[in-house]
Amino acid sequence: MEIEDDSRATAYTTLAGGPDFRHELEIRRSRFITVLRRSPDEDTARSLVAALRREFHDARHHCSAFVIGPDRMIQRSSDDGEPSGTAGIPMLEALLKRETAPGVTDLSDVSAVVVRYFGGILLGAGGLVRAYSESVSAALDAAPLVQRRRLRLYAVSVPHAAAGRLENDLRSAMYVMAETSYGANETVLRLALPDEPAAIADAVARLAALTAGSAVLQPEGTEWIDVQD
């Protein structure tokens, strides 16, 4: 479970959990292989570059960019031998300027590596900028994205026999459920609620109705959780 943090953001968009996402374009005979990875820290982002250098060891360039953190405070890019400013920065801009909803640019915790196999035709500086930007944008067009929200956690302890039914009722009511734990005599269900008085009051009332007032919500701090729309 994550502890309280001081991020100003309460939500952002990232890649859905799962394997690295791959997409390939051919531009004037050059192959541009884009790999996206969900990267909550710099080590995870840099490990993608290292892995692709090994996998595509005969490629001429392994250019990269990543943005990390709810507030997108960590931003890095590398041209990896391409003319300065023609690869890494356009890739980073493609990540930063990605609209995840109309007027919303909040993509984060994402690293992108574009592996280039030179096709024998020089693209020029402008052509390289467009090619690397387009490669990342096209990959993002097809990649699965998810919203990640900072939600307030509440625990409720119930007898084992009642836990399954109560959890199903809460899920049916569209509550986001977090980690469940099990004790000797009780099951501890956890709800992840928006940090809003009305949402918390609604949850208290619904829980009372479902358990005839026997169950009580206990606050447990906050956690970042993927939320499916």
Give a three-class secondary structure readout of 116-145. Answer: EECCCCCCHHHHHHHHHHHHHHHHHHHCCE
Check whether 58 has a pLDDT greater than 50. yes
pLDDT at 30: 92
Instruction: Please answer whether residues 7 and 40 qualify as being in contact, where contact means their C-beta atoms are separated by less than 8 angstroms.
Output: no
Sign of the CA dihedral running 108, 110, 111, 113: negative
Residues of the chain with CATH 3.30.70.240: 149-227
What's the pLDDT band for 2 if we cut at 50, 70, 90? very low
Whole-number pLDDT of residue 1: 39
pLDDT at residue 3, rounded to an integer:
41
Residue 4: pLDDT above 60? Answer: no
| Chain mean pLDDT for the chain | 93
Cα 111 from Cα 223, distance rounded (Å): 22
Domain 149-227, CATH: 3.30.70.240
Are the C-beta atoms of residues 227 and 176 closer than 8 Å to each other? Answer: yes
CATH fold of 11-143: Ribosomal Protein S5; domain 2 (3.30.230)
**Intervals of CATH 3.30.230.30 along the chain:** 11-143
157-186 tens-digit pLDDT? 999 999 999 999 999 999 988 889 998 889
